[in-house]
Amino acid sequence: MTFAKTASALLLTSFLVSPAFAQEIDRPECVAPAKPGGGFDLTCRIAQQGLEKQFDGPMQVTFMPGGIGAVAINLFNTTRTDDPNAIVAFSSGSLLNMATGKYGQWGAGDVRFLATAGTDYGAVIVRDDSPYKTLKDVMDALKENPGGVVMGAGGSVGSQDWMKAAILMKSEDLDPRQMRYVAFDGGGDAIAGLLGGSIQVYTGDVGEMVSHLGTGEMRILAAMSDERLPAPFADIPTAKEAGYDAVWPIVRGYYMGKNVPDEAYNKWVEAFQAAYKTDEWAALVKDKGLLPLDLSGKEMDADMKKRVERMTGIAKEAGLIQ
Amino acid sequence: MDAVFSGLASGFEVALDPFNLFLVLGGCFVGTLIGALPGIGPINGVAILLPIAYGLGFKPESAIILLAGIYYGAEYGGRISSILLNVPGDAGAVMTTLDGNPMARNGEAGKALSLSAVASFVGGTFSVILMSFFGPALASYAIHFSPSDYVALMVFAFASLASLVGSNPVKTLLAALIGLMLASIGIDANTGVARYTFGIPDILAGIDFLVVVIGLFGMAELIHLVEQQAAGTLKTLKIDKSFVTLKDLAFVKWTILRGSLIGFFIGILPGTGASVASAVAYGTEKRSARDSSKFGQGDMRGLAAPEAANNASAGGAMVPMLTLGIPGSGTTAILLGALLLFNVTPGPLMFQQRPEIAWGLIASMYIGNVALLIINLPLVGLFARMLTIPQQFLTPLIAVLAFIGVYSVVSNPHDLYMITALGVFGWFLRKLDFSLAPVILGFVLGGLFEDNLRRALSISGGDWTILVTSWNSVALYVLALLVVAVPVVVGRRRRARAEDASPKAPA
């Protein structure tokens, strides 16, 4: 009887978690501001595996879903502004939110950008049996009737998935508001929608296509990069080659709270710079479907702020903000 | 077919490797405990343990087998706190409380736990068998399920849930409406506009399902318990040694099969998971029962149906993940991430490139189901004794666990305020004799219904006829109509017959 009671009580208390706070980087943590399984999760896994040898203890990945990063940036601007242990994953989507004011009062000046994990590019994808053989076929159909092609992706109107489609429309001076865009709940559902025939064109990412490349189910019509990408994407033409000025890089990286002491910030920068030099890092980034982009510290912070500025410009053109 | 048998044979070779077998059993056991804790369900269980499994340096197939064991175990374990404490551990276990907890209060806790373990076993095994033989075909059917078909499915779900309309239909409808209102909070998925967030960033993404379940159900139940204790009306429960009998199982055998079938098919659809599956299974069962007056007061069928369905849907959700690389639920999304972490690419190529992982995982599910039944039946007695822990110890313990459970998922203190506020709100609703299940279902189904309706209309450019253009949709609308109409017609005919017969009966 007593045993049973003790056992049940033990069983109930065996999963206590205790947070700790200190000024040293003794509990490295990567915050993925989303539910598990998505791009932020992936970004944190890269830090977790890539920085394994740089810290004594294992890096913990925690999840903080909410408003594509809004909850995280809010927390790191209110209570954890100087947490030396935690880095937060972000992507171009987060930069876009800063640019369009989706994070409320918090903008690019309210965080300390730390380092990049890698980069990816937008991709125009159709089902294998689609009548559209090239990007030009899609664009011609759009020119004829801007609402005639059902496009879709994993984000809402105004998200970066929508921006990719909007930039394509813009490159031919078409009004993005006239396109027929279907917002799915994440890339997985959007791919299911494409394969199932609900949408005709999916504006996804090049990286997520790695796992679908050899299956013969989908074709990538164009990569939204400046130049051709390395293998296994070398055969994919860029939108620029086809004559459309539509470039959408997707940077993935990490930021910290803005009041983190320089000492801790520099330690993190050094850790990333040391990791960048290893072959394991390059292999890791490639395995996760990203292309190399090694930026850290001040240089990276400046680059990100420039990107936010550029996005503000595009968002204005697309009519997202005044 | 030959390929399936040879694949399964090679899979069992992997899964029966002593180390992997140990991992399946260990994963199932730990999973059951995790699932039994209020607030920690399969999603956070797998998410929390993923880095540990990775850190231990297992081979990919071993790590995936371990995680799948935990996933399965947590689905089994989720029923325990629902039945004993009336606090569902996760979304899929909400329907289990409806008849499971009354059974426990009637002194049949052991029977409820053992019956639901058997129902879970049948549901789980059923879906693994269907998956191994018809997986690829089913997956390609599942992706052709378009947004307009989802709308029809939600209409069907709402129709079958009309059966939940209890003693007071107006209150039930109001409760469902409250659920719909809660679902509309957050960034609108279509246009990106924030709705009813009042500038609070923490609810920009909407209120998490877990927060609603733990708040409305868990916290409200705790407040209710404390109130009863303060008033001295709390009944202490005796230790009960009841256990499910073969006669009971014979009584619910068709219920379990129906629940398994419904659960599996809803599970394979990407985007709908255990919560929708168990709700539809419960609703259909209550609707089709000849005598449904006991539902909600401890009817075995009301427990067996959702339990079979939520475990069948756990297996069903694996189908699109393994065959297409598209996750069918939150937990499979994490398993997908785990596969990618080990540089294994899920999808059709996995069965050719890494057969030991694909088939090893499937074989381990067969073993896991058997193991869970074996683990769970003897534990019934131990778990049932949880009810004998004096309330003054149990109540705070559950409260602490629920808070930790919610905090460990998201690490956002705002969620703790939310569950407290929702708990008080839920307690008020209970005081006013509202049933809380319709709130939760309005919340789940409402969100899915709205998203898919608007997706369908964006596809058609605003043309409503898209909703009835596919056979899937039409069939579901017909089923929805039948679910509502048949019990009414049958009931009327039975009453008419009874009236015909009554004059002949001696007065």
pLDDT of A161-185, one tens digit each?
Answer: 899 999 899 889 888 888 899 988 7
Q: Is residue A127 situated within a structural domain?
A: yes
What residues does A125 pair with on adjacent strands?
A202, A220
Q: Is it the case that residue A14 has pLDDT exceeding 50?
A: no
For residue A262, the distance in angstroms to the closest alpha carbon of chain B comes to 26
Q: Is it the case that residue B237 has pLDDT exceeding 60?
A: yes
Contact B259, B281 (CB under 8 A): yes
Least confident range of A116-130, B52-66, B109-123: B52-66
CATH code, A239: 3.40.190.10
Residue A59 one-letter amino acid:
M
Taking an 8 Å cut-off on Cβ atoms, the answer to whether A182 and B189 are in contact is no
Q: Is it the case that residue A67 has pLDDT exceeding 70?
A: no
Residue range of the domain that includes A236: 121-248
- In this structure, the answer to whether residues A116 and A218 fall within a common structural domain is no
- Cβ count near B470 (within 10 Å): 16
Helix, strand or coil, per DSSP, at residue A224: coil
Backbone dihedral angles phi then psi of residue A257, each to the nearest 5 degrees: -60, 155
CATH code, A92: 3.40.190.150
CA distances from B10 to B134, B139, B361 (A): 18, 23, 11
pLDDT level of residue B399 (50, 70, 90 thresholds): confident
Q: Which residues contact B2 (CB under 8 A, 6 or more apart)?
A: none
For residue A215, the distance in angstroms to the closest alpha carbon of chain B comes to 7
The pLDDT tens digits for A288-307 are 878 899 999 999 999 999 99
- In this structure, the answer to whether residues A110 and A146 fall within a common structural domain is no
Out of B188, B343, B385, closest to residue A156 by CB: B188
Taking an 8 Å cut-off on Cβ atoms, the answer to whether B404 and A16 are in contact is yes
pLDDT level of residue B420 (50, 70, 90 thresholds): very high
Taking an 8 Å cut-off on Cβ atoms, the answer to whether A215 and B348 are in contact is yes
Predicted ipTM > 0.85: no
Q: What is the mean pLDDT of residues B441-454?
A: 86
Give the closest residue to A104 by CA, choosing from A73, A66, A83, A82. A73
Q: Is residue B218 situated within a structural domain?
A: yes
pLDDT level of residue B35 (50, 70, 90 thresholds): confident
Q: How far apart are CA B149 and CA B43, in angstroms?
A: 27
Least confident range of A216-220, B148-152, B238-242, B402-406: B238-242
- In this structure, the answer to whether residues A90 and A125 fall within a common structural domain is no
Taking an 8 Å cut-off on Cβ atoms, the answer to whether A211 and B345 are in contact is yes
Q: Is it the case that residue B261 has pLDDT exceeding 50?
A: yes
Taking an 8 Å cut-off on Cβ atoms, the answer to whether B146 and A198 are in contact is yes
Q: Is residue B190 situated within a structural domain?
A: no
Q: Is it the case that residue B80 has pLDDT exceeding 50?
A: yes
Percent of chain A clearing pLDDT 70 (strictly above)? 91
Q: Is it the case that residue A106 has pLDDT exceeding 80?
A: yes
- In this structure, the answer to whether residues A243 and A203 fall within a common structural domain is yes
Q: Which residues contact A250 (CB under 8 A, 6 or more apart)?
A: A91, A92, A93, A119, A120, A121, A122, A160, A205, A207
Specify the pLDDT at position B378: 85
Q: What is the mean pLDDT of residues A145-155?
A: 91
Q: Is residue A322 situated within a structural domain?
A: no
3-state SS track over B285-350: HHHHCCCCCCCCCCCHHHHHHHHHHHHHHHHHCHHHHHHHCCCCCHHHHHHHHHHHHCCCCCCCCH
- Could you identify the residue written with the tokens 């049973």? A4
Taking an 8 Å cut-off on Cβ atoms, the answer to whether A5 and B385 are in contact is yes
Q: Is residue B201 situated within a structural domain?
A: no
- In this structure, the answer to whether residues A101 and A57 fall within a common structural domain is yes
Taking an 8 Å cut-off on Cβ atoms, the answer to whether B146 and A13 are in contact is no
Residue B355 touches partner A, C-beta closer than 8 Å: no
Q: Which residue of B has its CA nearest to A158?
A: B192
pLDDT level of residue A101 (50, 70, 90 thresholds): confident
Give the closest residue to B310 by CA, choosing from B365, B269, B250, B262. B262
For residue A129, the distance in angstroms to the closest alpha carbon of chain B comes to 15
pLDDT mean across residues, chain B: 83
What residues does A90 pair with on adjacent strands?
A253
Q: Is residue A163 situated within a structural domain?
A: yes
Q: How far apart are CA A6 and CA B138, in angstroms?
A: 47
Q: Is residue B177 situated within a structural domain?
A: no
pLDDT mean across residues, chain A: 85
- Of B355 and B340, more confident: B355
Residue that finishes a domain, picked among A194, A217, A248:
A248
Which of residues 293 through 352 in chain B touch A, CB cutoff 8 A? 320, 324-327, 330, 333-334, 336-337, 340-341, 343, 345-349
Residues of chain A found within 8 Å of residue B398, distances taken between Cβ atoms: 12
Percent of chain B clearing pLDDT 70 (strictly above)? 92
CA distances from B149 to A131, A187, B134, B325 (A): 25, 20, 21, 21
Specify the pLDDT at position B505: 46
Residue that finishes a domain, picked among A187, A216, A248:
A248
Specify the pLDDT at position A140: 95
- In this structure, the answer to whether residues A201 and A114 fall within a common structural domain is no
* Cα atoms found within 13 Å of the Cα of residue B191, Cβ hemisphere only: 6
Backbone dihedral angles phi then psi of residue B17, each to the nearest 5 degrees: -55, 130
Q: Which residue of B has its CA nearest to A58?
A: B55
- Of B345 and B315, more confident: B315
Specify the pLDDT at position B119: 94
The pLDDT tens digits for B428-445 are 998 998 888 888 888 888
Q: Is it the case that residue A15 has pLDDT exceeding 50?
A: no
pLDDT level of residue B403 (50, 70, 90 thresholds): confident
The pLDDT tens digits for B158-209 are 887 766 666 677 888 888 899 999 989 987 777 777 888 887 777 877 888 7
Q: Is it the case that residue B40 has pLDDT exceeding 80?
A: no
Q: How far apart are CA B247 and CA B239, in angstroms?
A: 23
Q: Is residue B180 situated within a structural domain?
A: no
Specify the pLDDT at position B164: 66
Relative to beta strand A86-91, strand A29-32 is parallel
Q: Is it the case that residue B484 has pLDDT exceeding 90?
A: no
Out of A16, A63, A104, closest to residue B47 by CB: A63
Q: What is the mean pLDDT of residues B288-301?
A: 82
Q: Is residue B204 situated within a structural domain?
A: no
- In this structure, the answer to whether residues A199 and A290 fall within a common structural domain is no
The torsion defined by the Cα of A47, A50, A51 and A57, in degrees rounded to 10, comes to 90
Q: Is it the case that residue B409 has pLDDT exceeding 90?
A: no
The pLDDT tens digits for A222-255 are 999 999 998 788 899 999 999 999 999 999 999 9
Residues of chain A found within 8 Å of residue B399, distances taken between Cβ atoms: none
Least confident range of A21-30, A212-221, B347-356: A21-30
* Cα atoms found within 13 Å of the Cα of residue B274, Cβ hemisphere only: 37
Q: How far apart are CA B186 and CA A75, in angstroms?
A: 18
pLDDT level of residue B328 (50, 70, 90 thresholds): low
Q: Is it the case that residue B23 has pLDDT exceeding 70?
A: yes
Q: How many domains does chain B have?
A: 1
Specify the pLDDT at position A21: 39
Backbone dihedral angles phi then psi of residue B436, each to the nearest 5 degrees: -85, -20
Q: How far apart are CA B309 and CA B95, in angstroms?
A: 10
Q: CB pairs below 8 Å between A and B: how many?
A: 183
pLDDT level of residue B109 (50, 70, 90 thresholds): confident
Specify the pLDDT at position A37: 64
- In this structure, the answer to whether residues A233 and A196 fall within a common structural domain is yes
- In this structure, the answer to whether residues A244 and A197 fall within a common structural domain is yes
Q: How far apart are CA B64 and CA A145, in angstroms?
A: 48
Specify the pLDDT at position B173: 83
Q: How many domains does chain A have?
A: 2
Q: Is residue A13 situated within a structural domain?
A: no
Residue that finishes a domain, picked among A200, A216, A248:
A248
pLDDT level of residue A150 (50, 70, 90 thresholds): very high
User: Quick one: tokens of B110?
Assistant: 């052991």
Query: In whole angstroms, how large is the CA radius of gyration of chain A?
Result: 21
Q: Is it the case that residue B53 has pLDDT exceeding 80?
A: no
Residue range of the domain that includes B292: 2-149+209-413
Residue B385 touches partner A, C-beta closer than 8 Å: yes
User: What is the reported pTM?
Assistant: 0.80
Q: Is residue A35 situated within a structural domain?
A: yes
DSSP-assigned letter for residue A55: S
- In this structure, the answer to whether residues A187 and A276 fall within a common structural domain is no
- In this structure, the answer to whether residues A90 and A38 fall within a common structural domain is yes
Q: Is residue A215 situated within a structural domain?
A: yes
Residue B348 one-letter amino acid:
P
Burial A52-87 (b: 16+ CB within 10 A, else e): eebbeeebbbbbbbbbbbbbbbbbbbeebbebbbbb
- In this structure, the answer to whether residues A194 and A271 fall within a common structural domain is no
Residues of chain A found within 8 Å of residue B147, distances taken between Cβ atoms: 182, 193, 198
